[in-house]
Structure formats: C-alpha cells, structure tokens
Amino acid sequence: MKLILNGTETELKDGLTVTGLLETLKIDPGRVAVEVNLKIVKKCDYENHALNNMDAVEIVNFVGGG
Amino acid sequence: MDDKLIIRGIEFKSRLWVGTGKYRDFEETRKAIEASGADVVTVAVRRTNIFDNKSENLLDYIDLKKYKILPNTAGCYTLEDALRYARLARETGISDLIKIEVIGDEKTLFPDSCATLKATEILAKEGFIVLPYINDDPVMALRLVDAGAAAVMPLAAPIGSGLGIRNPYNLKIILEQAKVPIIVDAGVGTASDVALAMELGCDAVLLNTAIAGAKDPIAMAEAMKYGVIAGRLAFKAGRIQRKLYATASSPIEGML
C-alpha cells in the first residue's frame, strides 16, 4: 500500500498498524506523536490502528527551537 | 535560599529558561544548556526525519530527568495550526506544558493576540499548562490570565532581535496587574538585559538566540546564568531610590 508519509508518497507493505509502521521505520514510539488523516492517534491505540492505502500519516518529534 | 518559581504546582529550580534552536550541533546545545543552569528547555514540533533513521535526535542530548521540556507552537500563523501542534506536542507523552506562539506578522514575528487568546482558552480547558507568548501588552496579559494562562510570556523585543527590554514600564504594569508568573520571552541580547528583567521583578527569562548566536555560546550561557542570579538578588534586596543630586558616602564628622 501507499502512504503519504510526512508529505511524501511512500510504498509500504500492506496491513501495517501504527506500531508496525514505527517498527519498520525504526522509530521509538516514546519520542513521537502520530497523526493519521489529521487525527491524532493515541499511543495506546498504535497497536490496533490499521493503516489504509493513501492514508496521510504525520510523524512528528521535538527539534531545536526557542 | 528558598526562592523557587512554581507554576501550577511545578517547581522550577532556575529562573533562566533556554531554547534549543540555532546551535551548531547537539553537543553545543547540550553544553550551553548545562552552562546556563536552566532546568527548562524549549523545543519545536516538526516532522521526524523518517528516511534517515541514523540521524540523531535532540532528546538524545537532553536528560529528561534533569530538564523540563517546554514545547512551542513556533511557526504557526493560525489558531488551527497552533492547536494542532500543541496537541501533537502533548501526545508525545513528554510534557503537558505548552508555549503558545501564534505569529501575526512575518517580519516582526509579533504575536496574533486574538488567536493567542483563543488558543489559550481552548488548550487550558483541555488541561494543558498554557504559557502564551505575547506582546508587552498589559491588557492582553489580563485577558490571557482570565482565559486560563498559567503564566504569561511578554516579549522584551522582537524574537531574535537582541534589542533588550524595549518597554520596561509596560512590563512593570503587567507585573503589578497580572497575578501569574511573568516570564520575559524573546528579544534579550546580553546578560544585562536579563538582569534588568529580573530587577523589574519578572519571574523568569526565556531566551535562545542571545546564547546560540553569541561568538562563544557556552560562555554567554554562563553569563546569562549570573545575570539572572544577580538581577533576582537585586530585586529582592530592594534597590535605592534614584536621586538627582549626590549624597556623600563618607562622614563629614572628624574631618580636619
């Protein structure tokens, strides 16, 4: 399936959950927040939130700022 | 000396808060934070670099047991964006604090007061500890307190300008009227600016560029630490009145 991942169309394997996506990308879930189609996914739902073709997924973290 | 800053039950050891932007690298960021003595660091919310999982993360350099994280909504120009960034920031599970920054003008980076007020009201109701960045506007400070701001953060001067405190009298009025901690945010240039803010009675100072942009950021961070300490002590000590004419310090009595 394809996801719009942080603004870029990206090919990923079918049937991923948010947990699966973060594992694939080697991202520590404790450091990020995830939004799917403009809705925040709570950490406790990562495991059960299935991603669908062409979902817009945003993964954000903290960067340097003032 | 028991002189701790407390906001909504959270105790802050330092009255200097620092940003983490514009440093050469994370190691310099870490050293500057350490030298500043700050226990609060601000961060921004941005897309994770997902295509390079070897890239380092700012939080690898900040000990979350030692420092409190104050996420901001920097870069947001609308109420909707500010709410979105704030909610994402909290969802990381790292902090309930949020520095609301809704910019109203690209050139001055002055805040959009209407959107800031609305964002404060909404997020305070959602349980955030809201610290809005505002102009040095005493009326807006009161409105924000009514809307649920845990503290207000008036600017000293435009963000990154280094101009220092442009309107100490407005800050004085805000300090007198708004019954929440007042944290000067943005525009300070050097240690004396920080000292002046503290001498006025401000509860803390938040800065970034003044340290990160200095020739020697680590040394400037240390200077800022002492600026805050000196200014706070002077404020508590109570300065003498300004007088037009001299008063001798040595006695007349006993002169030849």
Question: Predicted ipTM?
Answer: 0.95
Q: Which CATH architecture has domain A2-61?
A: Roll (3.10)
> pLDDT value at position B55?
75
Rounded to whole angstroms, the Cα distance separating A16 from A21 reads: 6
B92 has a chain A CB within 8 A of its CB: yes
Across the interface, of B50, B84, B208, the residue whose CB is closest to A66 is: B208
Range B219-243 average pLDDT: 97
Which tokens go with B144? Answer: 């924000």
CB A62 within 8 A of CB B18: no
What proportion of chain B, given as a percentage, has pLDDT over 70? 98
Question: Which amino acid is it at B161?
Answer: S
Told to judge if B99 belongs to the known catalytic residues of this protein, a careful annotator would answer yes
Sorting pLDDT into bands at 50, 70 and 90, what band is B226?
Answer: very high
Inter-chain touch B20–A35, beta carbons under 8 Å: no
Identify all chain A residues contacting B210, using CB atoms and an 8 Å cutoff: none
Handedness of CA B120, B136, B41, B226 (dihedral sign): negative
Tokens of B47: 């897309």
Mean pLDDT on B37-62:
89
Compute φ and ψ for B148, nearest 5 degrees.
Answer: 110, 10
pLDDT value of residue B53: 65
- Judged by CB atoms closer than 8 Å, whether chains meet at B47 and A25 is answered as no
- Residue of A7, A26, A30 lying closest to B53 (CB–CB): A26
Give dist(CA B18, CA B72) in Å, integer. Answer: 12
Cβ–Cβ gap A66/B21 under 8 Å? yes
**How many Å lie between the alpha carbon of A44 and the closest alpha carbon of chain B?**
11
pLDDT tens-place string over residues B147-187: 999 999 999 999 999 999 999 999 999 999 999 999 999 99
- Record: contact A33-B29, CB cut-off 8 A: no
Q: Is B204 helix (H, G, I), strand (E, B) or coil?
A: strand
Tens-digit pLDDT profile for residues B62-105: 999 999 999 999 999 999 999 999 999 999 999 999 999 999 99
- pLDDT the model gives residue B111: 97
Calpha distance B238→B244 (Å, rounded) = 19
Round the average pLDDT of chain B to a whole number and report it. 95
Q: Is the pLDDT of residue B1 over 60?
A: no
Cβ-Cβ contacts under 8 Å, A64 against chain B: 19-23, 26, 29, 43-44, 58
Structure confidence at residue B57 (pLDDT): 87
* Optimal mutation site among B41, B49, B50, interface A, most CBs of chain A within 10 A: B50
Question: Of the residues B4, B99, B236, B243, which is catalytic?
Answer: B99
Query: Is pLDDT of B221 > 70?
Result: yes
pLDDT confidence of residue B134: 97
pLDDT bucket at B50, cuts 50 / 70 / 90: confident
Instruction: Tell me the per-residue pLDDT of A16-33, one tens digit each, with 9 for 90 and over.
Output: 999 999 999 999 999 999
Residue of B19, B48, B84 with shortest CB distance to A59: B48
pLDDT tier at B56, thresholds 50, 70, 90: confident
pLDDT at site B232: 97
pTM of the model: 0.92
Query: Nearest-CA distance from B238 to chain A in Å?
Result: 32
CB < 8 Å to B212, chain A: 66
Confidence of residue B51 (pLDDT cuts 50, 70, 90): confident
Distance to chain A for B232, nearest Cα, Å = 23
B42, B91, B212 ranked by CB distance to A33: nearest: B91
Q: Which of chain B's residues have a Cβ under 8 Å away from the Cβ of A57?
A: none
Closest chain B C-alpha to A39 CA, distance in angstroms: 9
Token output for B26 = 């994370």
Please say if the pLDDT value at position A6 is more than 60: yes
